[in-house]
Amino acid sequence: MEALILYLILFFPEFTSIGYPTIESIPFSVAFAINRTICYTLPALALLWYIILGKKSLSFIKQEKPCRQDVFSLAIGLAGLITIAITISSLISFLSRTYGLAMPPRMEAPVNIVGWCVMVILCTGTGYLEETYFRYYLLTRLETYNLPSKVIFSTMLFAFCHIHDGLFAVLNALLAGLFLSLLFIRYRSLHGIALAHGFYNIFVYTMGVL
């Protein structure tokens, strides 16, 4: 019950709008990114880690320092996320050419150095927030109940909170969430998958330049 309540608190704002309007691109807004980071991402991370640390001893903090396995999960995670995204993008392009399906809007990159710095902070913070909850917190909690469908459940919740981005974003999140869950179970690495998630978000904006 705690995990579901926390899910609604942290990610309910994402459900307030479903689907983007029919536009070709979404410009990057420095003001919006700063506001989201300060008013949403950082407080949400603080709340989440307050709950997590309250359930473990202080020695737990030492166990979460970056280590060698983070490098492996980062490299594998980033490569996998980009591969999934390219596959979904190719599918969208095929359906668009064949059936006239509307293309989702392109995320535009920042236009100056300040924007790029803010974007990197936003993307990294988002990566850590989502991976801390969906993989580190939720999967670990579900494992204590020995639920065989723990990966499916956490992945479905992860995909659902991307519903405001449209159907293909949900499909991308579904595949990415499944991949990251299996990667987390394999390496037990928070920093690796969080950074992979954050770098993938940066990659999406970088593609706006190309």
Distance from C-alpha of 4 to C-alpha of 138, rounded to nearest angstrom: 9
26-43 burial: b if 16+ Cβ within 10 Å, else e: eebebeebeebbeebbee
What end-to-end distance do the CA atoms of the chain give, in Å?
Answer: 44
Residue 51 identity (one-letter amino acid): I
The model's confidence at residue 18, banded by pLDDT at 50, 70 and 90, is very low
Q: How many helices (H) and strands (E) does the chain have?
A: 10, 2
For residue 208, the Cα-to-chain-centroid distance in whole angstroms is 19
What integer best gives the mean pLDDT of the chain?
Answer: 87
**Cα angle 108-113-118, degrees, rounded to a multiple of 5:** 70
Higher pLDDT among residues 134 and 162, named by residue:
134
Bridge partners, 25 (sequence order) = 106
Domains in the chain: boundaries: 67-210
The 10s digit of each residue's pLDDT in 29-80 is 999 999 999 999 999 999 999 998 886 644 555 456 778 889 999 999 999 9
Tokens 């300040």 -> residue = 114
Q: Strand, helix or coil at 151?
A: helix
- Token digits of residue 31: 């003001």
